Structures are given as C-alpha cells and as structure tokens.
C-alpha cells in the first residue's frame, strides 16, 4: 500500500492555501510576491497555475518508479515503500541528473548558493510516517487536494468521473503516465489544457537505461575473453614469426 | 635549466588572455555559485560544462584506448609511433574532464561520493566508476614515459609485467563509459529531439568515440610535426585515414538505418534549427568519409589533416547536439552559454594544449624507445598493417 495525493482541478478555487501550507512545512518564506509566482522553484515546491478560468497545481509527482531515483549516482533519492520519493541532501553531489531525467521538470536547484541542494516536494514524508496528511491536503479548504491510499484515491477518482460524466475529462492523469505516479489528477478538460504533459512515455523511465546497464556484466566478461584471446593470438603469431626468423 | 622570461608571441598573448578570463570566471563560480557563473536553470540543468568539457572531452580522449587496442591487442605495431601521444592526450583529456566536473558539480567537494555511495541502476554511477578507474589506468600507461625520462628501470620492468591486463582493462572501461555517455540520455525520450534520441545512442557514442580518437591522433601528429619539426608519419596516418573512412561509413550507415526504423526521415526537411545542426554534423562526417576513401587525399598531409579536423568537429557537434541543442525544444527553453562558461571551457582546452606541449617537449612521447628492436625492424617492411 502506498500513499498518494488526489488533486481534483474542478474543485480548486485557486486560493493557494496549499502553497502557504507547503511553505510553512518546509520553513520557506511565503509572501504576496512569492504567491504570484506560478512556477515551482527551489523556494516554492508547489505552485498553483492559472489556465484561463481553471486552476492546476504543480508538485512532485512522486512517481511509482521515479527516474530521478534511478539516475542518482549516489542514491540520494529513494522511493520509499510509503510512497514519497525522498532526498538525502548529505549524499547529493550536485550532478543534477535528477533534474535532467525528470519528465515533469520538477527538481529545482539552489543555483545561487555556494553549497547548493536540490529541492522538491517529498509528499510530506515525515508527516505521512506519523499518519498525518500532507500539509497541502490539510490546508485545502475545499478538498481539491486530498491525501490517502493510492488504490482508494484512484477508486474515488473513478467514482467522481462516473457520478458526474459531463463534469470530467474521462481519464485520471497519473495512472499510466511514466508507469504511474503518486499524484493523481482530475480535470474537466483534456490534461494538456491545464498544463499537464501528455507527451510523457507510458512506460517507467528507469527501464530505458536499465536495458543497457544490465548488459554491463556481459560486455565485461565477453570483452575480457575476446580481447585476451585476440591478444594471445596476435602475440603468438608475432612470436612464432620472430622465432622462425621469417618475414610475414 | 636557465630561467628566462618567455618571448611574447600572438599565441602566448591569446593563451594568457584566455587563462585570465578563466581565472575570473573561476572566481565567479566559487563566490556566486552556478547561478552567478552559468546560464543554467531548473529547466536546463546541464549545459556547456557537461556537453563540452565532459562529453566532448571524453570523446576526444578516445584515441588512447583505440590505439592501445590496435597496437597492443591487435598487435599492429606500425601504429606504435602514435601510441604514446594518444595515451598522453587521453590522460590529459580525462584529467581535464575531472577539472571540468569540479566546475560543474554543485558540490565538487563530494566528487568522491559515487565511489562509496552506490546506485548500480544509475548510468552516472557507472560512468563515475569507469572514468575513475580508467584515469588510473591511463596514469599507469603514461608512467613509463616518466620512468624512461628519469632512467628508472625497476619500476619500468614492473609496469611492463602488468601491462597486458592493464590494457585490456583500459579498453573495456573505455567501451563501457564511452557508450554510457550516450546511455545517460536514454532516460529523456520526451526531451531529446528524435533526430538524436534512439535506443542505440550508446552504440553510436562508442563508434563515434573510436572515430574521433583516430581523427585526434592524425590531428596531433600533424600539429606536433609542425611544432617540434618532426617528420610526419605519413604512410601510417594515411592507413589510419583509410580505417577512419570505413568506420565513418559504418557509423553513418547505422545511423540512417536506425532513423529509418524509427520513421523520422520526415524530420530531415523541416525548417528548424535542429535540422540544420543535424545536417552539419552529418556533412562534417560524410565529406571526410568520401574523401578519405581516395588514396590521393590520404597521402596529402594537408588534405588528411583537413579531413581529421572535420571529423573532430562533427563529433563535437554531435555531443553538443545531444547534450544541449537537441534538448532545448523538449525542455521548453533556450540556452546560450554565459561568457564565464565559455571562458572556463576555453581555459581548460588551452591548458590541455599547453600541458601537452610541455610534456611532449620534456618526456619521451614522440620517440618510441627500442625495447624490441628486432620486432620493430621486422614490422617495418610491412606495407599495409591493416590487411592482416
């Protein structure tokens, strides 16, 4: 069982309570100027976007099989059994491969710091461990963001679509995208109209690199034998040629 | 050695200018972080320092493993005179890649972390290990030049004893990480432009590394023959040119075959920056491939050199396309390097040239010591080493 967030954009009123709740949980500053920013960044880990008269939230999708965790050379990012993808800043060496690999361009970097860290939402891992909801879900006054078990939330999302077919676009975003995410979206319109990426692959991204990486032992073993064999043959031939004193 | 003030020449003035700007850029990097010294952003987290300093740096240093494989494993002794410069280039290249990484990493003080904190699922982890080990191998392969210079016979013998496994290890490590630099980008199928994104990126990176390794060897030989007034090893380089022509044809063939399987030929005629950059990259490889098939061209030092330069620029263009330009559209942003990024990169390249020059002048790089005179003599008569 793993935790997830269901964000129903049709219920969202754009009050940004989730943003301030998030900032408070992380101890980040929050004011009118920051509230006006519609992009996530190292000082704003979730952002409410305006798309015409609709709203949408951006936050880390905490993927089921996260690309960021698979590419991190030092294992600073981990997918926990509980659901959140957590980050250990003490391990991070700042290669920013997680940022490059993330299909949602979520991880942000403290570009202007001398000892920078990556920053992203971790679905309030510490709160979830204690059984508490995420800060954003707790702050939401209208229930647009709710927190719970992924399976249950998925059932809830499908129930909402079934109960009000005209009110929803007939899909849940995050079910299959990049192999499934821990943040699920409901929308009244096709997802690209509320700024979600619909060009992401439906397979889990770590597969793409693992297909090559799993060949490494084969390359090493075959390569050693092959190169050693070639060396032995060519060297032996030269030896023989030298002994026999003939010119090849 | 007498201490005297170096003469001021145009090249030395340019060199000093580059190094000074690099020094100031270094100050900016240290004091104001990556934000103050680069144009990278959350949407574009990898830029010039990765695409050029690391990806091009490693590729251009591929002559080391290519020549080691040809001379010591395939036993094509005719190539021996260019082996040492290739090893020196590789050792310098990898050392400078590490310098480039120190600039690019957010926490350069943690460069060693992948060695103790493992994640075998990460391509970067594999690259980190391979580059570390291979730089060590290159250092050991370079050491004989130092031992010879100072007449240290005991260590020389010792290193000769382990030389074969060492060289096999070097070739394997190179194969792994040269290809893995391509694998790094397999994780971004939705970001990298389809003219470059392919599941066979690692294979393409590996072949093009061998190609550019040979081209760099020709490039160096030509320059060092002018700088040090040596005779150019023309028959040797010409035969290398022919190998190069075949390899490039194979590369281009695989590349277009792959594109046809992925049905992306339609993209070739779109009026987009990516299209032009793609054709530039292909032309810079196809033209020398055609030219080098002709003996007339191969035997003319100037033409051979021009072909090598084209190949080098083609592979540089390829790495920059994969690492920068091919990612811009998919990342929804535009990137132009900040002056300080360029300054650091130029300083690293300039330092590379200068150190190469210094080492080549002071260590036995260009004359191969005659350990096996009998065999060397034997091989001299061999007109065409490739036709084994």
Model confidence at B375, pLDDT cuts 50, 70, 90, reads: very low
What are the extents of the domains in chain B? 40-335
Q: Phi then psi for B359, rounded to 5 degrees?
A: -65, -40
CA distance B262 to chain A (A): 16
Among residues B255, B322, B308, the alpha carbon closest in space to that of B282 is found at B255
Percent of chain A's residues with pLDDT above 70: 98
Q: With beta carbons less than 8 A apart as the criterion, state whether A210 and B192 touch.
A: no
Q: Which of A212-221, B11-20, B59-68, B227-236 has the lowest mean pLDDT?
A: B227-236
CA distance B179 to chain A (A): 10
Residue of A93, A97, A238 with shortest CB distance to B113: A93
Q: Where in chain A does DSSP place strands (E)? A: 3-8, 47-51, 54-58, 77-79, 85-87, 108-109, 118-119, 145-149, 183-186
Residues in B 2-41 with any Cβ partner in A closer than 8 A: 30-36, 40-41
Q: Which of A62-66, A166-170, B4-8 has the lowest mean pLDDT?
A: B4-8
Euclidean distance between CA atoms B226 and B164, whole angstroms: 33
pLDDT of B374 higher than 50: no
Whether residue A72 lies within 8 A of chain B, CB to CB, comes out as yes
Q: With beta carbons less than 8 A apart as the criterion, state whether A153 and A6 touch.
A: yes
**Tokens at residue A171, please?**
């899909």
Residues in A 140-199 with any Cβ partner in B closer than 8 A: 197, 199
Count A/B contacts: CB-CB distance under 8 Å: 182
Among residues B350, B96, B364, the alpha carbon closest in space to that of B228 is found at B364
Chain B CA closest to residue A109: B42
pLDDT of B368 higher than 80: no
Please compute the mean of the pLDDT values over residues B333-353 and round it to a whole number.
Answer: 95
Hey, are the CB atoms on A209 and B43 less than 8 Å from each other?
no
Q: β-pairing, A3-8 with A183-186?
A: parallel
Mind listing the pLDDT tens digit for each residue in B78-107? 898 889 999 999 999 999 999 999 999 999
Q: Which residues, including other chains, have CB under 8 Å from residue A152's CB and lie 6 or more apart?
A: none
Average pLDDT over chain A reads: 94
Mind listing the pLDDT tens digit for each residue in A70-103? 999 999 999 999 999 999 999 999 999 999 999 9
Percent of chain A's residues with pLDDT above 90: 92
Model confidence at B118, pLDDT cuts 50, 70, 90, reads: very high
Query: Which pLDDT score, from 0 to 100, does residue A242 have?
Result: 85
Euclidean distance between CA atoms A174 and B91, whole angstroms: 47
Q: Phi then psi for A81, rounded to 5 degrees?
A: -60, -30
Query: Which pLDDT score, from 0 to 100, does residue B367 have?
Result: 67
Query: Which pLDDT score, from 0 to 100, does residue B370 have?
Result: 39
Euclidean distance between CA atoms B282 and A174, whole angstroms: 39
Please compute the mean of the pLDDT values over residues B267-296 and round it to a whole number.
Answer: 95
Residue of B33, B120, B180 with shortest CB distance to A116: B33
Q: Tell me the three state secondary structure of residue A159.
A: helix
Q: Tell me the three state secondary structure of residue B11.
A: helix
Architecture of domain B40-335: Up-down Bundle (1.20)
Count other Cβ atoms within 10 Å, centred on residue A114.
14
Whether residue A205 lies within 8 A of chain B, CB to CB, comes out as yes
Q: Which of A142-156, B156-170, B315-329 has the lowest mean pLDDT?
A: B156-170
Query: Which pLDDT score, from 0 to 100, does residue B377 have?
Result: 38
Q: A177 — alpha (psi -120 to 50), left (phi > 0) or beta?
A: beta
> pTM for this structure?
0.91
Among residues B64, B49, B70, B125, the alpha carbon closest in space to that of B94 is found at B64
Mind listing the pLDDT tens digit for each residue in A105-134? 999 999 999 999 999 999 999 999 999 999
Q: State the Rg of chain B over Cα.
A: 21
Query: Which pLDDT score, from 0 to 100, does residue B123 have?
Result: 95
Count other Cβ atoms within 10 Å, centred on residue A183.
25
* DSSP, res A150: H
Whether residue A222 lies within 8 A of chain B, CB to CB, comes out as no
Hey, are the CB atoms on B32 and A212 less than 8 Å from each other?
no
Mind listing the pLDDT tens digit for each residue in A18-51? 999 999 999 999 999 999 999 999 999 999 999 9
What are the extents of the domains in chain A? 3-203, 215-244
Please compute the mean of the pLDDT values over residues B318-331 and round it to a whole number.
Answer: 96
Assess: ipTM above 0.95: no
CATH classification code of A3-203: 3.30.70.20
Query: Which pLDDT score, from 0 to 100, does residue A118 have?
Result: 96
**Tokens at residue B10, please?**
């145009």
Euclidean distance between CA atoms B212 and B308, whole angstroms: 8
Q: Where in A88-234 does DSSP place strands (E)? A: 108-109, 118-119, 145-149, 183-186
């Amino acid at each position: 069982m793993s935790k997830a967030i269901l964000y129903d954009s049709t219920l969202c009123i754009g009050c940004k309570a989730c943003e301030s709740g998030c900032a408070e949980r992380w101890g980040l500053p929050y004011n009118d100027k920051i509230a006006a920013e519609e992009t996530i960044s190292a000082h704003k880990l979730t952002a409410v976007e305006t798309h015409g008269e609709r709203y949408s939230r951006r936050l880390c999708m905490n993927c089921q099989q996260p690309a960021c965790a698979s590419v991190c050379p030092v294992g600073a990012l981990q997918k926990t059994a509980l659901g959140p993808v957590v980050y250990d800043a003490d391990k991070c060496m700042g290669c920013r491969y997680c940022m490059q690999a993330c299909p949602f361009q979520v991880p942000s970097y403290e570009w202007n710091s001398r000892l920078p860290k990556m920053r992203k939402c971790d679905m309030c891992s510490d709160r979830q461990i204690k059984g508490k909801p995420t800060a954003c879900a707790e702050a939401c006054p209208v229930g647009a963001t709710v927190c719970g078990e992924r399976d249950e939330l998925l059932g809830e999302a499908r129930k909402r679509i079934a109960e009000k077919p005209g009110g929803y676009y007939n899909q849940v975003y995050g079910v299959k995208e990049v192999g499934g995410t821990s943040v699920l979206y409901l929308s009244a319109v096709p997802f690209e109209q509320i700024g979600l990426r619909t060009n992401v692959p439906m397979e889990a991204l770590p597969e793409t690199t693992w297909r090559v990486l799993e060949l490494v032992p084969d390359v090493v073993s075959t390569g050693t034998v092959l190169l050693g064999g070639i060396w032995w043959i060519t060297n032996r031939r030269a030896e023989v040629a030298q002994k026999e004193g003939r010119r090849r | 050695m007498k201490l005297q003030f170096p003469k001021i020449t145009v090249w030395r003035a340019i060199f000093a200018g580059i190094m000074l700007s690099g020094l100031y850029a270094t100050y900016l990097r240290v004091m104001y972080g990556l934000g103050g010294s680069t144009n990278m952003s959350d949407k574009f987290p990898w830029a010039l320092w990765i695409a050029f300093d690391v990806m091009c740096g490693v590729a251009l240093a591929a002559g080391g493993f290519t020549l080691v494989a040809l001379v010591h494993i395939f036993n094509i002794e005719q190539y021996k005179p260019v082996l040492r410069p290739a090893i020196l280039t590789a050792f310098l290249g990898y050392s400078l890649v590490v310098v480039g990484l120190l600039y690019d990493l957010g926490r350069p003080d943690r460069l060693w972390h992948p060695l103790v904190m493992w994640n075998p699922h990460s391509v970067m982890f594999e690259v980190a290990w391979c580059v570390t080990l291979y730089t060590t191998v290159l250092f050991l392969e370079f050491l004989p030049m130092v031992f010879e210079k100072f007449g240290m016979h005991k260590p020389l013998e010792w290193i000769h004893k382990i030389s074969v496994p060492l060289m096999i290890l070097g070739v394997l490590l190179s194969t792994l990480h040269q290809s893995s630099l391509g694998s790094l980008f397999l994780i971004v199928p939705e970001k990298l432009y389809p003219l470059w994104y392919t599941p066979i990126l690692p294979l393409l990176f590996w072949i093009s590394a061998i190609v550019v390794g040979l081209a760099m060897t020709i490039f160096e030989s030509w320059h060092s023959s002018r700088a040090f007034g040596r005779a150019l090893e023309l028959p040797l380089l010409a035969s290398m040119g022919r190998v190069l022509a075949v390899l490039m044809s194979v590369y281009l063939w695989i590349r277009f075959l792959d594109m046809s399987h992925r049905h992306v030929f339609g993209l070739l005629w779109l009026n987009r920056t990516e299209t032009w950059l793609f054709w530039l990259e292909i032309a810079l490889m196809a033209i020398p491939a055609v030219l080098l098939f002709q003996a007339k061209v191969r035997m003319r030092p100037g033409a051979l050199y021009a072909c090598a330069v084209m190949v080098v620029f083609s592979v540089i263009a390829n790495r920059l396309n994969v690492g920068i330009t091919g990612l811009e559209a998919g990342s929804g942003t535009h990137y132009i390097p900040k002056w300080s990024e360029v300054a650091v990169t130029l300083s690293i390249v300039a330092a590379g040239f200068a150190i190469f020059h210094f080492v080549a002048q002071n260590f036995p790089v260009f004359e191969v010591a005659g350990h096996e005179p009998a065999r060397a003599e034997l091989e001299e008569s061999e007109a065409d080493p490739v036709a084994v």
